[in-house]
Structure 1
Amino acid sequence: MKTITKLFATALTAFAIFTTTNLNAQEMTTMSTNNGMAFKVGVGLNGGLFRKSSPMEYSYGADLKLQWDLTKDVAVTASGGYAKLKGRNNALDFDFIPAKGGVKVFAIERMYLAAEAGAGFGIEDGAKTNFIYTGGLGYEWNNGLDIGIRYEGYVNDSSSTTYFRQTGQYAVRLAYNFKL
């Protein structure tokens, strides 16, 4: 648990530093078109840690996320990428392509709550598809920088050659969003 505590402490400290250093009197600009909607593409890097009871130890990956801002407070997301889960003592490594859809709710200015669900398509022969669910929070700056923390759970098919019991990770995502 100490490693997870350190990860969260580091993420929260970085989040606090980034948000408090930009709290000067600034005019809020939005990335929207004339009809109030906006499209963004985010390129991100991910890293996470699992609980001690999990067969997995850590993960890393990259993603591409499409975001459609329906209003200034609600956005719909779709993402895909690559993820690698590393097992404890090199017992099991699992490579997959996650495909998820979800929603972001901007509760306070640029701060958001996010939820996603989708599938993780195993790359190895005999690997089955995982069900993936996530929930977290983050902050999106006007300059395009986006940082988020989340819990991501995995439910695996027991007939898979890369089977591991249901588990989840605590992850950090650093990304940059491009306006379309």
Structure 2
Amino acid sequence: MKTITKFFAAAAAAVALFSATSVNAQTMTTTDATMMDSGMAFKVGVGVSGGIFRDKSPMDYAYGADLRLQWDLTPYVAITGSGGYTKLMSKNNTVDPDFIPVKGGVKVFPIKRMYLATELGAGFGIQDGAKTNFIYGGGLGYEFGGFDLGLRYEGYTNDSGSTTYFAKTGQYALRLGYNFKL
């Protein structure tokens, strides 16, 4: 199995495991009510990220910024949606695509404030003749005092008819963001 396939299989198993273990039919106590207050919350986050690519990739590094919406369904599971700007820099300066990524995902918090996340989406090319990229990714992170520090793998699959075509590739990125609770 490819590394990315193993990663997604592990993330899917973690989501299934934590979703199944947190579903219980119980009466609500005051402690449970306090925990519920920390769930069902909305957050808006802004972040910046930078990434590097593997040696085989035609890309060298990437940078970007995003706006993320997060809906905490429970203290253990959140749904996310994000949009922003990403610029990929090639090794030989032939194609430096930039696009607007729009992604949706799930965050699972197995340990308080630490999360595992998966995302899928599309990258809408900005240059003339650029086609839409398919974006997939997953990673882990930590939320503390409104800050969100995450490490992820983000893969891109591009249409060969695009003027900004590049072979299937992916970056290892670090994101620093800040979440505002609504």
Shared fold, TM over 0.5: yes
Q: Cα 1:50–1:43, aligned 2, differ >3 Å: closer, same or farther?
A: same
* Cα distance in 2, alignment partners of residues 89 and 154 from structure 1: 19
* 1:58 alignment partner AA: Y
Match of 2:139 among 132, 136, 139: 136
Q: How does 1:105-144 map to 2 (within 5 A)?
A: 105-141=108-144, 143-144=145-146
Give the drift of 1:54: 0.4
Instruction: Give the TM-score, by structure 1 length.
Output: 0.80
TM-score, normalisation: structure 2: 0.79
Residue aligning to 1:52: 55
Tell me the SS of whatever aligns to 1:90: coil
CA distance 1:92–1:104, shift in 2 (3 Å):
same
Which residue is 1:5 aligned to? none
Cα distance change of structure 1 residues 178 and 172 upon mapping to structure 2, 3 Å threshold? same
Matched, 1:153 2:165: no
Equivalenced residue count is 149
CA contact (8 A) 1:32 1:38 kept: no
- 1:77-116 alignment to 2 at 5 Å? 77-116=80-119
Report if aligned partners of 1:104, 1:112 keep a CA contact under 8 Å in 2: yes
Aligned residue identity for 1:148 = G
Identity of aligned residues (%): 72
From 33, 38, 43, the equivalent of 1:40 is 43
Which AA in structure 2 matches 1:121? F
Question: Cα distance, 1:90 vs. partner?
Answer: 1.2
Partner residue, 1:163: 165
CA contact (8 A) 2:77 2:108 kept: yes
Within-5 A mapping of 1:8-23? none
Q: Would you identify which runs of 4 or more consecutive aligned residues in structure 1 move more than 6 Å?
A: none
For 1:125 and 1:158, locate their aligned partners in 2 and report how far apart those are by CA, in whole Å: 15
The answer to whether the 8 Å contact 1:104/1:113 transfers is yes
RMSD, matched Cα:
1.6
Using the TM superposition, give the Cα deviation of residue 157 of structure 1 relative to its aligned residue in structure 2, in angstroms. Answer: 0.4
Consecutive unaligned residues of structure 1, counting only runs of 5 or more, are: 1-30
Partner in structure 1 of residue 9 of structure 2: none
Query: For 2:35 and 2:93, how far apart are their aligned partners in 1?
Result: 47
Report the Cα offset of residue 33 of structure 1.
Answer: 7.6
Q: Which runs of 5+ in 2 are unaligned?
A: 1-33
